[in-house]
Structure 1
């Protein structure tokens, strides 16, 4: 299943990347996502957020009461025009779910338009497509949480 999300951040692309590499910010994202538990690792090559989240009742019959999700963010240095490319990968532990997105952060006169496009694949025979449709809002909410928390942090 293809997905395409667009976010707007009230700062430049390099500052968005700085925020995504701030442990306290990523910790805040997990807390506001309702994580039962989480860990954050920030390094020069990537930012990793691993969290255990409660799942909607509609998915519980497939995956149980909680789901272990890892989001890995990788960003390249800014290009000459100030844009930044990167990737966001989501791994769901113990499940045949793969989420891979390309990120493009584009400066737009003092703000940044972030475009995340990629694929969500659930490799379960016979019910994979049905589960993809149920998982997609969960993944959209995870991406949306980044935008909401960034707006709060940037407004400080």
Structure 2
């Protein structure tokens, strides 16, 4: 069973500024700086403006919730891929996918970043699927709640990074 939900959040910076930030390695290094055991594996900007990012996060058993640590046979590795493409009219479409090692679960967010006046609006349709018997549904809800907080937090981080780095 999977858990789905929608998120809408806004930023005072433009879609173009966000797109430019997504294509910079210094942006991704700053975004990942607090992620212990997190590596930027790929950052590629294609000729058509598409941005492709791959990230790996190694989670030791000590940082996992106790119940999950009992079920997971080893340290957990999360693989994360994010792709953003300009789609015309000043908008971008993105897909963010995460998967846990051992087929324990995954998430997928379909994202739309569109101009909103001189600013931008991000809409995300998120699906979380955890394949741990008996506790999967509870973990899906917990992960969903975490993503409902973290997606707007990432946009706030991006906005602050742009304001500090590109507008000063």
TM-score normalized by structure 1? 0.81
- The answer on 1:9 being equivalent to 2:28 is no
SS of 1:77 mapped into structure 2: strand
8 A Cα contact 2:38 2:55, kept in partner: no
Q: Which runs of 5+ in 2 are unaligned?
A: none
CA distance in 2 between counterparts of 1:75 and 1:138 reads 22
Determine which of 19, 22, 39 is the counterpart of 1:20.
22
- The answer on 1:48 being equivalent to 2:54 is yes
CA distance in 1 between counterparts of 2:73 and 2:159 reads 32
Stretches of 4+ aligned residues off by more than 3 angstroms: 53-67, 137-142
Residues 79-129 of structure 1 deviation map (CA, whole Å, 9 limit, x = unaligned): 1x2111121111222342111111100101111101111210112233211
Q: Which runs of 5+ in 1 are unaligned?
A: none
Larger Rg: 1 or 2?
Answer: 2
CA distance in 2 between counterparts of 1:10 and 1:70 reads 30
**Compared CA separation, residues 137 and 85, structure 1 to 2 (3 A):** same
How many residues were matched structurally?
A: 154
